[in-house]
Amino acid sequence: VTVIGIHAGAGPRSPKLRDHYDECHDALVRALAAGRELLERGADAVDAVTLAVTVMEDFELFNAGRGAALCTDGCVQLSASLMRGADRAAGAVAGVSRTKNPILAAAAVLASPQVLLIGDHADAFADRHGAEQVSPDYFVTERQLRNLRAATTDVSTGTVGAVALDAYGVLAAATSTGGIIGQPPGRVGDSPVIGAGTWADRHAAVSCTGDGELFIRSAVARTIAFRAEQGTTLADATRLSLEDVESLGGTGGVIACDAHGALSLPYTTEAMPRGVWRAGAEPQVWVTEAM
Amino acid sequence: VTVIGIHAGAGPRSPKLRDHYDECHDALVRALAAGRELLERGADAVDAVTLAVTVMEDFELFNAGRGAALCTDGCVQLSASLMRGADRAAGAVAGVSRTKNPILAAAAVLASPQVLLIGDHADAFADRHGAEQVSPDYFVTERQLRNLRAATTDVSTGTVGAVALDAYGVLAAATSTGGIIGQPPGRVGDSPVIGAGTWADRHAAVSCTGDGELFIRSAVARTIAFRAEQGTTLADATRLSLEDVESLGGTGGVIACDAHGALSLPYTTEAMPRGVWRAGAEPQVWVTEAM
């Protein structure tokens, strides 16, 4: 079986999603198709989730890459991570601000001896490895400045991510985020934290979205995979972790895929734009709808 | 039972440890005594592990705080994290360079809505919360510049940490590091990664040291606690995780304490300076000796 699942962040059924339903739907369809096409051509799961996330990073209505939320100082601080299940190779960046697609920076780190690089050094590393650099105004758009000015303390989180199982039986997971609108500069959530926002091993691949601090304190992604390794169904494992996040006072969502190609995409918020494709079936996409 | 365990990094039985045996022994004794005194006066486990780590950060022969290893560019980038088991409150900083005691920055983050802050913003946050700031030459000593010039690509890691169980039954874990001698600027290891280098919940508290990238890819600290939660003995849980790190090609050590006051301090390197104290018993300290 070959499978890919994507998400564009758990959060409220916001005016943004309702007013721009078609654009969001189209972005999800394109991200899923990009990943699917690679998988059908025999590419591996790491490349498929990376490309799917890249497409979502380039779409300005999702909170990652181009559409990243701004910090209180009006700057962006982007984070992303990527993990391959077969050997648990991992790469992550936090606090980048010039790399157009942070997931490509994470991919470059995955191929290096390091696992996590932060700040300007991470941008410079990405640049040296061919990841396109952009000026701040690529991210700091009029739309985002309006969002920042309008932001209350209770804002949607949002993040994008993908999980896949390829034809060689390898699982992979990828996550990318702009953080929270109006977050303090220097704040990092769960997205670049291997074990919290992203995890892949031989049993499961997981990408998370939600209240980042609580996802770290619950080690959501690693715990789901460990439960799957021990024989818990993926549906039960993801439910137990979201219940644990809830016990800490938070909400969010996860997408998870296991070694048999089972997918689980639960969330405890109003909405989680998401999509799935399985070899031999039609792709499915949801923007504000329940499953 | 009231218990505290400390470590000052797993690595080779280096000339540094042999030539400065008495100083290292004394630093461990002082760190353990500082934590013990707080616990005996009824302080909580978070304060005890924080103080014990502070003492080790101030000792210039351990790779954390004052004694931090230098990056290739001759600068320091310090990381630390702290977690309280009762409610899994957590705080971590990565890439700080002006905060004298990074574990105090982590403690300030633990008390905030955030969990992880990075870079200069983390220093500024620590400063605003009363953590002493120092000029770079506090860390960039003649000794460290000599170490950097002498460093080969295969150098000891080292990190300091503490775990404790207090009189109220609360577990806590703390870890602080200067990274690896000659690491690329921006590189972050497992120490500030909650779930990798540090974890505490109601079942166990864990602080790790070793090949940081592999400890992240093994989610060592969280996995040990999860196994303890499921009934695996602490000795088995720590052994299984070190075996997993070994399967990825690395070595290191962990100190772990469970809710019954059991301690486990295994390592797969030549040495791990460490110490333990248990209410009603004499403190014990090892520098280069096996248990």
- Please give chain A's pLDDT, 291 residues, in tens: 999 999 999 999 988 888 899 999 999 999 999 999 999 999 999 999 999 999 999 999 999 999 898 888 888 899 999 999 999 999 999 999 999 999 999 999 999 999 999 999 999 999 999 999 999 889 988 888 888 888 654 345 579 999 999 999 999 999 999 988 888 999 999 999 999 999 999 999 999 999 999 999 999 999 999 999 999 999 999 999 999 999 999 999 999 999 999 999 999 999 999 999 999 999 999 998 886
| B177 counts as catalytic | no
Out of A114, A185, A222, name the one closest to residue B184 (CB): A114
Statement: residue B233 has pLDDT above 70: yes
Q: A117 touching B, CB under 8 A?
A: yes
Find, in chain B, the residue whose alpha carbon is nearest to that of A218: B88
- Which residues of chain B make contact with A87, given a CB cutoff of 8 A? 248
Res A156: pLDDT: 52
| Residue B38 C-alpha, separation from nearest chain A C-alpha, in angstroms | 26
Q: B91 touching A, CB under 8 A?
A: no
The rounded mean pLDDT for chain B is: 94
- Which residues of chain A make contact with B213, given a CB cutoff of 8 A? 90, 113-115
Beta carbons of B115 and A212 less than 8 Å apart: yes
Beta carbons of A186 and B125 less than 8 Å apart: yes
Share of chain B above pLDDT 70, in %: 97
Q: A240 touching B, CB under 8 A?
A: no
B157 pLDDT tier (thresholds 50, 70, 90):
low
Res A153: pLDDT: 41
Q: A122 touching B, CB under 8 A?
A: yes
- Euclidean distance between CA atoms B48 and B107, whole angstroms: 12
Interface test with B, best of A78, A98, A118, A180 (most B CBs within 10 A): A118
Q: Which among B157, B159, B209, B238 is annotated as catalytic?
A: B159
Q: A194 touching B, CB under 8 A?
A: yes
Out of B121, B196, B216, name the one closest to residue A186 (CB): B121
Residue pair B195/A220 in contact by the 8 Å Cβ criterion: no
Res B180: pLDDT: 85
Beta carbons of A116 and B88 less than 8 Å apart: no
Angle at B130 between CA B129 and CA B134, to 5 degrees: 120
Question: With a threshold of 0.90, does the pTM exceed it?
Answer: yes
- Which residues of chain A make contact with B226, given a CB cutoff of 8 A? 223, 226
Res A73: pLDDT: 84
Query: HEC states along chain B?
Result: CCEEEEECCCECCCHHHHHCHHHHHHHHHHHHHHHHHHHHCCCCHHHHHHHHHHHHHCCCCCCCHHHCCCECCCCCCEEEEEEECCCCCEEEEEEECCECCHHHHHHHHHCCCCCEEEHHHHHHHHHHCCCCECCHHHCCCHHHHHHHHHCCCCCCCCCEEEEEECCCCCEEEEEEECCCCCECCCEECCCCCECCCEEECCCEEEEEEECHHHHHHHCHHHHHHHHHHCCCCHHHHHHHHHHHHHHCCCCEEEEEEECCCCEECCECCCECCEEEEECCCCCEEECCCCC
Res A233: pLDDT: 97
Q: Residue A62, CB half-sphere, CA atoms under 13 Å: how many?
A: 34
- Euclidean distance between CA atoms A190 and A115, whole angstroms: 15
Nearest in space to B63 (alpha carbons), one of B127, B16, B120: B16
Lowest mean pLDDT among A150-154, B165-169, B199-203: A150-154
Statement: residue B153 has pLDDT above 60: no
Out of A125, A186, A217, name the one closest to residue B90 (CB): A217
- Euclidean distance between CA atoms A192 and B210, whole angstroms: 21
Query: Which amino acid is present at B117?
Result: L
